[in-house]
Amino acid sequence: MRRFPLALLLAATALVAAHVPAGAFVTDMVDPSTHLPLTPHPEALGQGAEQPRQNAIPRETVAYTGAYAPGTILISTTERRLYFVLPGGQAIRYGVGVGRPGFEWSGAKTITRKAEWPDWTPPAQMLRRRPDLPRHMAGGIENPLGARAMYLGSTLYRIHGSNEPDTIGQAVSSGCIRMTNEDVTDLYEHAKVGTKVVVLR
């Protein structure tokens, strides 16, 4: 094994430390326009498709200093994160999959229905794009909606689980917000019918 002089290692450590403020972590940095903690985009961390993204995006509690009330869901589609605002200046942050190019959207919606292990009936627009899809699929582990679904207003969009956890952190959906089954089950317990959902781009 090649050994480096101790003085050289100490100098390199000091150089790095000089460019990082004391106590600065990713969750301490805040986007001034949204007041959401900033996190690097998954690709910026070198997390390629060969790595298990569901392990790379842990659920965590972070500081929140924005104006939205506790109980609000904020989704940053560029960051690919969902925040559930808690009391006391905190939020639970989850990794999510979002709409692919051409299927991005933003705005404020409300959760109007919740379902456990929901059935899936692809909308007509999706069937025109993908005529190979089933016309109906009963809820279960193979169902694309996963373990839980929260329906957003009168739209076709949902926050739902996924049987493809490697897509979390990517832009691959038709506009729905995907989560791991573990994370969507956790969020499902926090969010109620009537919860405000704000989608940011």
pTM of structure:
0.74
User: Per-residue DSSP letters for 75-98?
Assistant: EETTTTEEEEEETTTEEEEEE-BE
Band of residue 168 on the pLDDT scale cut at 50, 70, 90: very high
In CATH, what number is assigned to the domain containing residue 147?
Answer: 2.40.440.10
Over residues 27-60, the pLDDT tens digits come to 445 665 566 666 554 444 444 434 344 456 999 9
* Residue 26 counted as domain residue: no
Residue 176 known to be catalytic? yes
Q: How confident is the model over 52-77, as a mean pLDDT?
A: 86
Domain residues for 130? 56-200
* Residue 46 counted as domain residue: no
Over residues 92-119, the pLDDT tens digits come to 999 999 999 999 999 999 999 999 999 9
Could you give phi then psi for residue 76, rounded to 5 degrees?
Answer: -100, 105
- The catalytic position among 19, 41, 160, 190 is 160
Task: Please report the pLDDT score of residue 69 as a whole number.
Answer: 97
Q: Rounded to a whole number, what is the largest CA-CA distance in the chain?
A: 67
8 Å CB contact between 201 and 80: no
8 Å CB contact between 180 and 97: no
Number of domains in the chain: 1
Residue 35 known to be catalytic? no
Structure tokens at 78: 């560029």
- Give the CA-trace dihedral at 169, 171, 174, 179, to 10 degrees: 0
Closest by CA to 26, choosing from 50, 66, 53, 58, is: 58
8 Å CB contact between 177 and 159: yes
8 Å CB contact between 82 and 169: no
Between the ranges 12-26, 48-62, 123-137, 154-168, where is the mean pLDDT highest? Answer: 154-168
Q: Which helix (H) or strand (E) holds 112?
A: strand 107-116
List helix spans (H) across the chain.
Answer: 6-18, 53-56, 124-129, 181-190
* Residue 158 counted as domain residue: yes
Structure tokens at 154: 């009168």
Give how far the C-alpha of residue 22 lies from the chain's centroid of Cα atoms, to the nearest Å: 28
How many angstroms separate the Cα of 22 from the Cα of each of 27, 43, 175? 14, 26, 40
Q: How confident is the model over 47-74, as a mean pLDDT?
A: 77
DSSP 3-state of 148: strand
- The catalytic position among 19, 35, 176, 190 is 176
* Residue 36 counted as domain residue: no
